[in-house]
Amino acid sequence: MTELLERAIAKLKTLPAREQDAIAAMILEELEDEIKWDAAFASSHNALAKLATDAMAEYKAGKVLDDIRCNG
């Protein structure tokens, strides 16, 4: 455990139980969110790589417009 985390926990121990539980719930929720984001990113990496490969192939095949103009 890092020194900073140890200091934070030491301060948390001085708080009333209700506040400790509230902060613990926030920390646990944040950790769960990180796990979900990591999993989502890991599973999307292959899809993003395929999209990039497809886009580059279309560009090299001349299927991409060099300049798009909007008439407003």
Split at pLDDT 50, 70, 90, the class of 13 is very high
Output the pLDDT for position 67.
Answer: 60
Judge if pTM exceeds 0.75: no
**Which pair of structure tokens corresponds to residue 51?**
């999209």
Mean pLDDT of the chain: 88
CA–CA gap between residue 22 and residue 30 (Å, rounded): 12
Convert the pLDDT of each residue in 35-64 to its tens digit. Answer: 998 888 777 778 888 889 999 998 888 887
Residue 71 scores a pLDDT above 60: no
CA–CA gap between residue 27 and residue 5 (Å, rounded): 12
**Residue 23 near residue 15, CB atoms below 8 Å:** yes
Residue 8 CB neighbour total at 10 angstroms:
14
Cα first-last separation, the chain: 59
Output the pLDDT for position 46.
Answer: 80
Averaged pLDDT, 14-30:
97
